[in-house]
């Protein structure tokens, strides 16, 4: 027999529309890069969660666990039907505290994150990682 290394990626019914600051890493993780935000910088973002496949009409999505929850807020809007998929607008806001907070993705644990959850056991939850440095105010 022959051993051969294989690289694969499992594509599920949940994902994000990739553009601008929202990318997908080679490991399949979705990352939104706010960058370094100064006193006058924008600390809000809007993107879309995509739900596709046969379970799209039997599934409701919601925002699950957020970390750090004293800095990040996320709101999932009402779904919009687009052919074979549903798009859910996701509004993200970073709230500065008194001190600088950095989550610059230096290792796998150096991110903020938002979980998107499903009420359907056939649709696994999905995590969005957030990279940012937010100055204190």
This prediction has a pTM of 0.86
Distance linking the first and last C-alpha atoms of the chain:
63
Q: How many CB atoms lie within 10 A of CB 57?
A: 10
What percentage of the chain carries pLDDT values higher than 90?
72
Regions of the chain where pLDDT drops below 70: 1-11
* Phi, psi for residue 92 in degrees, rounded to 5: -120, 135
Task: Report the pLDDT value the prediction gives residue 10, as an integer from 0 to 100.
Answer: 42
- Contacts of 16-24 spanning 24+ positions with Cβ under 8 A: 16/47, 16/48, 16/49, 16/50, 16/128, 17/47, 17/48, 17/50, 17/87, 21/45, 22/47
Q: What is the DSSP letter of 17?
A: -
CA 88 centroid distance within chain: 12
Task: Report the pLDDT value the prediction gives residue 7, as an integer from 0 to 100.
Answer: 36
């Amino acid at each position: 027999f022959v051993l051969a290394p294989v690289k694969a990626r499992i594509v599920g019914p949940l994902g994000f529309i990739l553009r601008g600051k929202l990318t997908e890493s080679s490991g399949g993780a979705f990352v939104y890069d706010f960058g370094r935000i100064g006193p006058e910088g924008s600390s809000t973002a809007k993107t879309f969660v995509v739900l596709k496949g046969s379970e799209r009409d039997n599934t409701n999505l919601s925002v699950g666990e957020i970390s750090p929850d004293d800095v990040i807020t996320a709101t999932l809007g009402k779904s919009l039907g687009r052919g074979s998929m549903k798009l859910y607008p996701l509004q993200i806001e970073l709230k500065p505290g008194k001190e600088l907070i950095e989550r610059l993705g230096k290792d796998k644990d150096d991110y903020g994150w938002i979980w998107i959850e499903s009420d359907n056991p056939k649709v696994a939850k999905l995590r969005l990682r957030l990279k940012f440095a937010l100055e204190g105010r």
